[in-house]
Structure 1
Amino acid sequence: MKLETIPGGLSIAVVAAISFGTSGALVKPMLEAGWSPTAAVTARALTAGLVLLPFALFSLRGRWAALWLGRWRVLGMGIVGVACTQLAYFAALQTIPVSTALLIEFLAPLILVGFVWVTTKRMPRRAVLLGSALAVAGLVLVIGPGAIRAVDPVGVLFAFGAAIACAVFFVVAARPARGLPPIALAAFGLLVGGAALGLLGVTGLLPFTASFADLALLGAETPWWVPLLALALISTAIAYAAGITAAGVLGSRLASFVGLLEVIFASLFAWLLLGELITPLQLLGGLLILGGIAAVGEERVELAAESLLPDEPGQHPVEPHEPMNDGPAAASGEATAAASALIGRP
């Protein structure tokens, strides 16, 4: 199976969802032991970035121009995709339940669909609308119907901020690479995001505490660095590298829908590692999410098949022109092109 094909991209996206899904079960013992969310996320991002750094340098092979051309992607990934997502999510948890915050954050795929709909004025295909409806229904069942309740509006705004930042993550990850390997984007993005969070913590703008005492994991006492390393290696390094790679193959929309599998795997790992039970409603919700992903994925395959058809008489392919920079101006042009690709032909 070639990784650059849709089946290969889906496989990588599932690996990313599984890896991201372990984070809750691994970080919970750290938070219960006295780690502040900012400290845990900072340690997680910096450790993962350092783990990926040798692989990133090897993949670049001295092509520093590619890193410079991709500097806006790196900054966007680090500041928005890593730091802002985590900050907004944890800020939301201060005033609203975890289930509600998760439900809102995982509306990121719908934000992408809605953004493209508004900016291109082209209604998505029925398969996308059906997939969106199934995915939302599945999310409600997996996270819990109690997530829909009257809550603090400030917390809701922060949760929507996390959802927007999550959507930006998929857009940045799906942008043309221009020689910047996915693992390099992941490594430097994590280092930038971790450094930004750490700076906010050490300056006192955010609570920043850590505990180096033994903590409980899998029913046994373990050193503090065991869950931290697992969190950094599995839930962060592998997760971000796989997620960025998958988005580059699948595009931001389909990758974001496959990312919804994270809530299913999070429930599974919470059951395996923390003893939290999985209900029949959660299983049904998982099936609905899979149905939503299948609907969106089917639409993507149809578009790919249509692109292989011969041109109509009189039509000639236009050679793409690759801009020489990777700045905000280039990003706006790519956003328009990506928007049209996301919607597909009506």
Structure 2
Amino acid sequence: MSAHSTRHRPTGLAFALLAALAFGGSGVFARPLLDAGMDPLHVTWLRVAGAALILLPVALRHRDLVRRRPLLLLAYGVFPMAGVQALYFAAVARIPVGIALLLEFLGPVLVLLWVRVVRKDRVSPAAIIGVVLAVAGLGLLLEVWAGMRLDAIGVGLALGAAAAQAAFFLLGDAVGEDADPLAVIAFGALIATVLLGILSRPWNLPWNLMAHSHDLGGLTLPGWALALWLALVCTAIAYFAGVSAIKRLSPQVAGGVAYLEVVTAIVMAWILLGESLNATQLVGAVVIVTGAFIAQIAVPSTPETVPDQATEPATRQVRPPSEHH
């Protein structure tokens, strides 16, 4: 567990909702570029490379972090920023998108297992119930029974994406007070740019699409504006808000609330792209929101601090009970 002295639900939920809005919009703002013929991996590379460029001044300012926390930076770049994207796109090439997305969002379940089995920490029943409901709601929302076909490699790749997603929550909690979260994200984006560049071969990217106009919900936007939104909002701001939520809620609770990202994506697709939901999918969305609400009550609404009476000075604080959830 990280060295955070308190958890705080109100601000944590605010950051979690911001992260859901920012992450959830990635598919909507990427759709015009994808429809224009750009490869998904190229769009992903643009997203992380743009974020790396935007956050480069932050990385330069905190360059000492490379010496102090090299493994954290490497892990953040490999798993949350490059791993989730690469493994998910590899999975959807072999299994239906709905199945792949459902398996990827088993990440919060893996977080619960890690916290309980590996860390030996107590997991709040509210967090468990919330995540289970969210997974069930996601299954309804994606109608995973439609077009079901099994492919062992595809399933394995999707589960790998789930593990990388779980790493996002666990590493976010491990950032600690000695590392600026935005600096960790900046270096993670730089590492992911290199790794995804090897896979996507950006020199083959159709750069001419950046100057072309694209339609988004009746708006006409140039390709570079869509790429900028993906880099700034859907990556830099989204990851920063996500890490800030994790530090204030805990990995397992933040994982439960993160399912709102899927609902956000569906709502934005409905508003901007005209995509609608059927009755089953609406039920699934309600179940996801219910699960996220139940999960977040595992965190006290106000910070709790307790003086250490044994070995620490009176001014030092130990972790509150909520950190053991």
Scaled to the shorter chain, the TM-score interval is 0.7 to 0.9
Distance 2:24 2:284 in 1: 16
1:163 aligns to what? 162
Out of 20, 24, 28, the residue aligned to residue 25 of structure 1 is 28
Distance 2:246 2:301 in 1: 18
Q: Is the 8 A contact 2:7 2:299 kept in 1?
A: no
Give, in angstroms, the shift of residue 103 of structure 1: 0.7
Out of 205, 209, 212, the residue aligned to residue 208 of structure 2 is 212
Give, in angstroms, the shift of residue 200 of structure 1: 3.2
Out of 319, 329, 337, the residue aligned to residue 312 of structure 2 is 319
Distance 1:172 1:246 in 2: 12
Evaluate the alpha carbon distance shift between residue 65 and residue 233 of structure 1 in structure 2; reply closer, same or farther with a 3 A threshold.
closer
Evaluate the alpha carbon distance shift between residue 147 and residue 75 of structure 1 in structure 2; reply closer, same or farther with a 3 A threshold.
farther
Out of 1, 14, 35, the residue aligned to residue 11 of structure 1 is 14
Superposition pairs of residues 1-346 of structure 1, within 5 angstroms: 5-55=8-58, 57=60, 60=62, 64-120=63-119, 124-146=123-145, 149-202=148-201, 209-213=205-209, 214=212, 215-219=214-218, 221-301=220-300, 308=306, 316-319=309-312, 344=325
The secondary structure found in structure 2 opposite 1:35 is coil
Distance 2:31 2:94 in 1: 18
| Deviations 1:27-82, CA, capped at 9 Å, x for gaps | 12212212112211111101112212335556x4xxx4344212222111111111
Distance 1:56 1:288 in 2: 40
Evaluate the alpha carbon distance shift between residue 121 and residue 150 of structure 1 in structure 2; reply closer, same or farther with a 3 A threshold.
farther
Give, in angstroms, the shift of residue 163 of structure 1: 0.5
2:3 aligns to what? none
Q: Which runs of 5+ in 2 are unaligned?
A: 1-5, 314-318
The secondary structure found in structure 2 opposite 1:95 is coil
The secondary structure found in structure 1 opposite 2:85 is helix
Distance 1:299 1:277 in 2: 33
Q: Is the 8 A contact 2:103 2:162 kept in 1?
A: yes
| Letter of the structure 2 residue corresponding to residue 283 of structure 1 | L
Give, in angstroms, the shift of residue 127 of structure 1: 2.3
Q: Which runs of 5+ in 1 are unaligned?
A: 321-337
The secondary structure found in structure 2 opposite 1:216 is strand
- Note the aligned Cα RMSD (angstroms): 2.9
Evaluate the alpha carbon distance shift between residue 66 and residue 224 of structure 1 in structure 2; reply closer, same or farther with a 3 A threshold.
closer
| Deviations 1:297-321, CA, capped at 9 Å, x for gaps | 222329976x65x89xxxx44439x
| Letter of the structure 2 residue corresponding to residue 294 of structure 1 | F
Distance 1:28 1:203 in 2: 19
TM-score of the two chains, using structure 2 as the length reference: 0.85
Give, in angstroms, the shift of residue 106 of structure 1: 0.7
| Letter of the structure 1 residue corresponding to residue 236 of structure 2 | A
Evaluate the alpha carbon distance shift between residue 38 and residue 150 of structure 1 in structure 2; reply closer, same or farther with a 3 A threshold.
closer
Distance 2:302 2:113 in 1: 19
The secondary structure found in structure 2 opposite 1:300 is coil
Q: Percent identity?
A: 36
| Deviations 1:203-235, CA, capped at 9 Å, x for gaps | 99xxx5335232333345542212111111221
Distance 1:271 1:299 in 2: 31
Distance 1:223 1:299 in 2: 44
Distance 1:203 1:268 in 2: 31
Distance 1:149 1:274 in 2: 26
| Deviations 1:159-198, CA, capped at 9 Å, x for gaps | 1010100100111111142422111111121121112211
1:331 aligns to what? none
The secondary structure found in structure 2 opposite 1:27 is helix
TM-score of the two chains, using structure 1 as the length reference: 0.80
